[in-house]
Structures are given as C-alpha cells and as structure tokens.
Amino acid sequence: MSDLISYQLEDGIATLTLSNGKVNAISPDVIAAFNAALDRAEQDKAIVIITGQPGILSGGYDLKVMTSGPQNAVNLVAAGSTLARRMLAHPFPVIVACGGHAVAKGAFILLSADYRIGVEGPFSIGLNEVQIGMTMHHAGIELARDRLRKSAFHRSVINGEMFDPQGAVDAGFLDKVVPVEQLMASAIAAAQQLKKINMTAHKNTKLKVRKALLETLDRAIELDQQHLI
C-alpha cells in the first residue's frame, strides 16, 4: 500500500494504520492513501479498523497545506469531507482504535466511524478549529450536529472545547475507553463481534439511517467549495 497508511489483512479484518509524522497530519496524499486502502478493504470484504500511532490518531489537516493558499485549503477540506462521507457509507463496519489525541480532522475521523474505542490517559479529543482561527466548515458542522450529543455540540463546535477520553464518550466522539495496552485487542474483539452480523443488512440499514446526513453532507461539501474558508 502506502508508507502513509499501512494495510494489514487478517481473518477478514483490515487494519489501516496512519503514519505521517508526529501528529499524523492529514494531507492530500494521506487522503489518497486512505481511499486506496478503503478500496482494497471493500474488495477484501473486510471489516475495517483505523488506527494511528501510540498517543495520537491525528492532529488534523496538514497546516503546511492549509496555509499555502485559500484554494489549497478549500480543496483539502473538501477531500477530507468527501472521505468522511465515504466512511459513513462504507458497506462494511468501520472501527476506529484511537490511541490518544484526536484533534480537528482527527476527531472528525471518529465522527465518521461506526464504532470508536479510545484509551485512558491525558489525551485531548475534539474540534479546536475556532481556537486556531478557523471558521468551522459546513460539512464539519453537519457531521458534528448529527454525531455529537446535543449538550456537547455547541460547546464543541462554537467554543472549541476539548474533551478528555471519558468526556469524549459523554460527548459522542467515542463509544468506549480502555487501558492503552488493551486498545488493539478491544478493537479486534469488536470486529469479531461485528463479523457475526449480516453485511448486506448492515450496508442497507446504514444507508437508510444515514440517508439524510449523507444528503446534507453532499450539499455542505458543495457550499464549502463555493466559499473560501
């Protein structure tokens, strides 16, 4: 596969490991590698586990790209939002094993998955866009609106509040928190459990449940491309 996203298939489970520097920045090349890995997982009819490095899933979009010009920023955000939409509609279950921090686009990866496991520790999870001077994009707002608990949505998106792992469960970024040494075993156990469901029923039900969200994201992605962020 790619140096940026490694692909390991074992027993019907495809593990995609993001490795792009110390903050696992999401760049155009990372998104291309993600899409290639999801293509392969779909061909393999595999349940997907997405993970990062010890201590971090991702710190968000590559700031070098985001600050290299307005159009580059718009293009990267649109590609990232399109990836989120693809994850939400993926025909097989998508699990994220978050080994630490998940910030900005890192947190949106959590919001785009079917099941999310985090780890105990002094980690920050959330959407810090307004903290760093970015107005939240339409697609991000709609994804957060759908997946976060109502009590946390405004605090997260408008206030840029960051959550510790247990707070991230309460907010809706994570489903479960485990000791760090149990992360991958817990993710594999969740994947094994999900292998028992009927995948056609899973796919069709997922598309029904998320129909309104997917349509809203399509409109939001168009809006984001029309307006320089």
Q: What is the mean pLDDT of residues 16-25?
A: 96
228 has a pLDDT exceeding 70: no
Domain coordinates in residue numbering, the chain: 5-183+193-226
Over residues 134-155, the mean pLDDT reads 96
* Average pLDDT score over the chain: 96
Query: Which CATH architecture fits 5-183+193-226?
Result: Alpha-Beta Complex (3.90)
Q: How confident is the model at residue 157 (pLDDT cuts 50, 70, 90)?
A: very high
Taking CA atoms, 92 is separated from 114, 153, 156, 200, in Å, by: 9, 27, 29, 9
Separation of alpha carbons 26 and 107, rounded Å: 12
- Burial (CB count <10 Å: 0-12, 13-18, 19+), residue 66: buried
Give mean pLDDT, residues 102-112.
98
Segment 119-124 mean pLDDT: 98
- pTM for the structure as a whole: 0.96
Angstrom distances, CA of residue 54 to CA of 165, 180, 223: 15, 9, 36
DSSP code, position 61: B
**Residue (of 106, 126, 108, 100) closest to 180 by Cα position:** 100
| Secondary structure element (H or E) that encloses residue 160, with its range | none
pLDDT digits (tens, 9 = 90+) for 36-94: 999 999 999 999 999 999 999 999 999 999 999 989 999 999 999 999 999 999 999 99
